[in-house]
Structure 1
């Protein structure tokens, strides 16, 4: 127990070092005061620790959500501050996640396929880095898309001193990463901020460079978010997108690390933990939060053993807030922008695009389309394209069931696709294998596919009397699939052919027997495909009574 606490304490201290500059930077990226990021890194962590399930999810402000928050808050009505909008947004995100947990909608994580998620993350990474270029140049230019940002930046001009600070900061951060010391690389952002604050406060080196400025007293502003119904309604669509992205990305991070550690993550518990964290953020002056990949990896590598590590992170953040309130006013904004650029670009990779293109071009195109939408349109449009594209690809893949004509591998009882293997086929029986469940998305094409195989068998092997379908890969048959089997039976009967099944899985067989389908259509059933093939040679057909035990296969 003592060793666990020590490991969690060390992990908490290490992650707090990274979270301090990230909290400030991502709040600024979202268009919010820097202290908002610090507030979002305190009590929300305790809420997740109480209700979540991952011991290594580094919760807090994250870059992708910061970009989404910035776009959501860009159209606030006059008189509504960005801070007030962020509190409402966090409350709505927490409420939507809580509703999803109540309705057990943790399957929502499957709405974004991996290509869509990676395309979004890479697009957001590039857009985040691009959004910091004006800050590095000493300009106040902004833009929600890459062309708009580029135009605004070109018109705003450059302040050489700001650029010098930003380039120097980026260079030092990159050097720290190449130094070969993990400890130095982790501490470098914090050391850089401290050094920059010291130079700015004690020397004239940063005169004329935009600074964070005086912060209000860093005390948690416990209060309800605005109850303006019109504001809540306006931000609700953005909150739904932020909630979806927060859950999907956080679950992806926690599950990938859980696999490495041999642990189990509960998606329902993750929903509850994220919901509680965002609700608490809305009550304590914060912003929407989610799991960060970089901080989660750091928690894992630092030896975190339980969610107590997040409690310690919050504790160290509280100490930092008390100690850094004064010096933060002197922090040059180009240095803060440099920490964002280096941090986010470190996670960008073009390898995913190459791999997806080589493996499945349609998914590679989806990944590229989502990235382009983030850069050229909006994060909301990109998420919509990702969700719709993922569903469309799923429907396209299952629109026609894959049915393979199979034959016996010589000298064995194994049956394989004749297009891939040298196999033996008997003239009197067409051996087929259905490679997926029969459901409404693909059932309509079943009869046409099977009859095409029957014609090919006649042309190459001989005149068949039976069609024996290997059903082992079929996990489910819905009503549409059952109707398709009935139509197939009628089509084969018209051709003078019998329909027979082999290796039907128990749950599927139970459903067929529940409606008396096999008896009604006189469909023979075999325990193994080889048995079914051999039955024709000996003119043997099993009775259904031989297969009465439910769930036998």
Structure 2
């Protein structure tokens, strides 16, 4: 759709300045994070810079949020590190990262095409928080050897311990001094009042470390090293079936987590200003961003929570902010490469640790324990699996556990015995209110939709109530909470109708919603249903026809 000259003039007048300022502020944080997160993923540092160029441009064209900053993300970096370890021998990490980005992009594009944006529901809040906490601790632990100049490495606590023991728990005094000093400085600057000074402080720490390294050039200090010149070759990823097959499971988990976390950030920031987020366009935006990364030497990308919040606070008005960020990153890559080459790796490790640990929260574990101990145990299990086994195992258990809990809670429909509140026409649960019951009419309320998950249990649940009320001549089901009914639910209703008929009892329905009634009619229920349908439950209770 072409943009009119009037729209351009309106944008220049009302939003250009705010978008430019927000882009500058975010780029200040993105430069060191791009380098750090690429190294966290086991990739050359320039890969993180490449992932900050075209991906934001594609998201700006296809996404829906004016606040999201798309690029390297700490949690995804840890997932990328573990996934790349599955690549066949002879494949470099950079080549595997391109294939991984392509797979993530294609999976997200397929989900957008098939309108599967509801996939976000696969990761429940306990699973997502348990995973994020475990990943946060694992990332911080993985950076501790880099901070101290040790040769150890690993993505889980057992791997780190075994590697550290194999290297004799080595560390270098100069690296440790740089790392600890940078860590202390970054913690202190976080206590500054919010403003431009606090936003620029991390860059100031990084530049001070670079200047000191250039002036002193101490022996044994690990540095980023010379970065290659900007070279976006736009070549397709390596077409190796074995490589694509090996990385596909990890790509699916990265795509799912990247989408869920990005959507959560977008919705949170949109609610601040009364906006809405298009979930399908978010899928499209992330798909385009990752496909762009695959063609330009990048790595899988998603929305960064910290940078997106910063972009929102800095006053971003439109998605053009992402375009300006990409331009500034390209400018930085072309001009700052000689400067970034002197950046000490312990300082980048310190920046990662401070960034991820700042969002660490243990309160949800306590809240979940008080609310539902099963969900709390699932949260802890996911966290411990991330720390001790692998991200794949943790997310696999999380998704399966959430589905199992859903099936457990939905397998038996909640059917409440209800009675009339004296002096009113309102009917409520007998376990919560003082109500009046009719001994000849069993008044029940079905509190959920009738689907294949719970349909088979309907007759058994109703029969359990009948066993306690043997004088019942008629069963009246209040259907107002039932939002949908599938063929299994229709079959369960028919089975209940036939069972009651054999017992000499009648089945009536009240307050059936229009869409449910349409499904019943489509299923030919008029051919077998012999009861009555009432507009209100009170009418059904007052009707004694056929008793």
**Shorter-chain TM-score: which interval?**
over 0.9
Equivalent-residue separation in structure 1 for 2:370 and 2:504 (angstroms): 44
Equivalent residues of 1:518, 1:524 under 8 A apart: no
Three-state SS of the structure 1 residue aligned to 2:424 is coil
In the alignment, what sits opposite 1:199?
212
Among 294, 309, 330, the alignment partner of 1:318 is 330
> What do residues 142-170 of structure 1 show as CA deviations (whole Å, max 9, x unaligned)?
12321221232243322222222211111
2:38 to 27, 32, 37: 27
Q: 1:72 aligns with which of 74, 77, 83?
A: 83
SS at match of 2:154: coil
Q: Decide which of 475, 479, 503 is 2:483's aligned counterpart.
A: 475
Q: 2:539 aligns with which of 508, 516, 531?
A: 531
Paired position in structure 2 for 1:522: 530
Residues 359-378 of structure 1 mapped to structure 2, 5 A cutoff: 359-378=371-390
- Indicate the residue corresponding to 1:134 in structure 2: 145
Moved segments of 4+, more than 6 Å: none
Alignment counterpart, residue 259 of structure 1, candidates 271, 287, 292: 271
* Structure 1 counterpart of 2:160: 149
Q: Comparing 215-224 with 193-202, which one deviates more in the overlay? A: 215-224
Q: Match for 2:189 among 165, 176, 180?
A: 176
Q: Does residue 88 of the first structure (1) align with residue 99 of the second (2)?
A: yes
Q: Does 1:113 align with 2:124?
A: yes
1:42·1:317 contact (CA, 8 Å) conserved in 2? Answer: yes
Tell me if the contact between 2:38 and 2:44 (Cα under 8 Å) persists in the aligned partners. yes
Residue 248 in structure 1 maps to residue 256 in structure 2? no
| Shift in Å, 1:519 | 5.3
CA distance in 1 between counterparts of 2:376 and 2:96 reads 36
Residues in 1 aligned to 2:110 and 2:529: alpha-carbon distance in whole angstroms: 46
1:407-447 CA distance string (max 9 Å, x none): 11122111111101111112221111000001111111111
Partner of 1:307: 319
Q: Conserved in 2, the CA contact under 8 Å of 1:56 and 1:254? A: yes
C-alpha separation between the residues in 2 aligned to 1:182 and 1:430?
66
Aligned pairs for 1:41-52 (under 5 A) are 41-52=52-63
Deviation per CA, 1:87-146: give whole Å up to 9, x if none: 111112112222222222222222211211111111111111110011012112112321
Pairing 1:485–2:496 present: no
Q: Which of 74, 85, 103 lines up with 1:63 in the alignment?
A: 74
Task: Find the counterpart in structure 2 of residue 548 from structure 1.
Answer: none
Following superposition of structure 1 onto structure 2, how do residues 387-426 of structure 1 map, counting pairs within 5 Å?
Answer: 387-426=399-438
Aligned to 1:380: 392
SS in structure 1 opposite 2:442?
A: strand
Runs of 5+ unmatched residues, structure 1: 542-553
Paired with 1:13 and 1:63, the residues of 2 have a C-alpha distance of 21
Partner SS state of residue 21, structure 2 = helix
1:469 counterpart SS class? strand
Q: 1:515 to 1:379 in 2, by over 3 A?
A: closer
Matched, 1:288 2:300: yes
Contact 1:218 1:325 in 2 (8 A): no
> Once structures 1 and 2 are overlaid, which stretch shifts more, 123-132 or 89-98?
89-98
Alpha-carbon distance in 2 for matches of 1:285, 1:309: 22
Deviates more, 1:50-59 or 1:108-117: 108-117
2:174 matched to which residue of 1?
161
Partners of 2:127 and 2:255 lie apart in 1 by: 16
Q: What is the RMSD computed on CA atoms of the aligned residues?
A: 1.7
Q: Secondary structure at the match of 2:210?
A: helix
Q: SS where residue 66 of structure 1 aligns?
A: helix
TM-score (normalised: structure 1) = 0.93
| Unmatched tracts of structure 2, length 5 or more | 1-9
Residue 139 of structure 1 aligns to a residue whose secondary structure is: coil
Matched residue SS, 1:178 = coil
Partner of 2:112: 101
Post-superposition offset of 1:13: 1.2
Contact in 2 for aligned 1:438/1:477 (Cα 8 Å):
yes
Q: Which moved more, 1:384-393 or 1:255-264?
A: 255-264
Alpha-carbon contact 1:23-1:38 (below 8 Å) kept: yes
* Paired residue secondary structure (1:422): coil
Partners of 2:418 and 2:49 in 1: CA distance: 63
